[in-house]
Amino acid sequence: MIAFLLRRLLYTLPIMLGVALVCFALVHLSPGDPLVSILPPDASAELQNQLRTLYGFDRSYPEQFASWVWRALHGDLGTSIATGRPVTEEVTKAVGNTLRLAVLATLIGFALGSVFGFVAGYFQNSWVDKAASLTSVLGVSVPHYWLGMVLVIVFAVQLNWLPPSGAGPGSSADWVWDWEHLRHMILPAVTMSVIPMGIVARTVRALVAEILAQEFIVGLRAKGLTDFGIFWHVVKNAAPTALAVMGLQLGYLLGGSILIETVFSWPGTGFLLNSAIFQRDLPLLQGTILVLATFFVVLNLVVDVVQTLLDPRIARA
């Protein structure tokens, strides 16, 4: 187990270096001047050169990349061009908000998707299977930003049950664990959970159908094992793959929630990325993408380790 963990840790080093290189290249190769948001229209050439030197844009791309990686290893992601605040401070606050929302959405999606998947797998080709499968297909197919707007119209505007936007009362970005702040999480979390729910349901349904058709299930029934005992064996065999899917969906939600957070004005990494893109804030854009990519790689590592604990055959392979 220790050898497997060390090997997986070793694999993450070139992955993170590649992620940093791709992130840096994509951001810098995109058109536009990163200083246009803070330079006045009549800025002199001397002022432009001073700002380029201050932010390091006057150096070659390899020098900028090496300097950026070295500072990132020490926890310094630079300074935001638009706000003048440290990128680390901006990203840390946004990541906390997105992580809370993504974890809640993943738990909702995983719970509902597992229930639909197990029900559909156990009652194959029945009306229950068709209803659960239709629900999962709709969850994957419906645009989540459109669903978010519909939920706002129904539950916030017409019924006035839940707040339409923000992370707290008065559009505050400071999080407190109380009911008022939790109410602001419900609509965006439910909206984000729809796609993971559909993917998990389809995956679990296929796993359960495949496991129930295997010979060892027939042997367990022949030995007189109860339905609950057989269900427990199905759960243990389906858990590693379902857990891997859940981990990937959590990673996708952390980095792919731009539209949802924009619709609900949720002050997370998606909202931060959206602002950085429109303001051409390169340090903030690079830092946010790097942190999200690091989360994704770490999540994959954690999922691999948990999978190995649940199924030792993975480590032996």
88-316 topology per CATH: MetI-like fold (1.10.3720)
CB contact set of 206 (below 8 Å; sequence gap of 6+): 121
Asked if 284 and 272 count as a contact pair (C-beta separation under 8 A), the reply is yes
Phi, psi of 72 (to 5 degrees): -65, -35
Share above pLDDT 70 across residues of the chain, in percent, rounded to a whole number: 88
Q: What confidence tens digit (pLDDT) does each residue in 250-275 have?
A: 777 776 677 788 888 888 888 888 88
For residues 275, 280, 281 and 283, what is the CA-based torsion angle, rounded to 10 degrees? 130
Phi, psi of 214 (to 5 degrees): -80, 160
Q: What confidence tens digit (pLDDT) does each residue in 226-252 have?
A: 767 777 878 777 877 787 788 777 777
CA neighbor of 88 nearest in space, from 312, 236, 298, 288: 288
Residue ranges per structural domain of the chain: 2-73, 88-316
pLDDT value, residue 64: 82
Does 192 score more than 70 pLDDT? yes
The larger pLDDT score, comparing residue 118 to residue 31, is at: 118
